[in-house]
Amino acid sequence: MEEKHNLCLNQLPEELQYLAAYARKYHLDNCEDDIDRAIEGLLSGELEDLAQVAERVLWNGDYEKVSRFVAVYEIFRYTDAAWLYFFFGLLDALELKFN
């Protein structure tokens, strides 16, 4: 199996850098259980914060930019790209509109 690399989030365009902190905070892998655990572990105020992030992504059209970024930094090669990708899985599981 090919070794995964980190630090691709440092390559995010400046307008997407705000998402890097969330990807690192939740560091979700490709497992539904990880997303379920993240939801169960949400602290007071986190849902509101995540809703604001989803709204920002929606209003700025950032999801399309993230999709292009993840196409370059593949989630199977870059651990932190997977974190970013599956962060959107968390938003989706929370039924927060971002796209």
Vertex 8, ends 37 and 31: CA angle to 5°? 25
Domain-located, residue 2: no
Domain-located, residue 3: no
Domain range for residue 84? 8-93
Span 42-73, pLDDT tens digits: 998 999 999 999 999 999 999 999 999 999 99
Domain-located, residue 23: yes
pTM exceeds cut of 0.85:
yes
Domain-located, residue 67: yes
Domain-located, residue 1: no
Domain-located, residue 32: yes
Domain-located, residue 53: yes
In terms of pLDDT, which residue wins out, 4 or 65?
65
Domain-located, residue 98: no
Domain count of the chain? 1
Helical axes 79-93 vs 32-40, angle rounded to 10°: 60
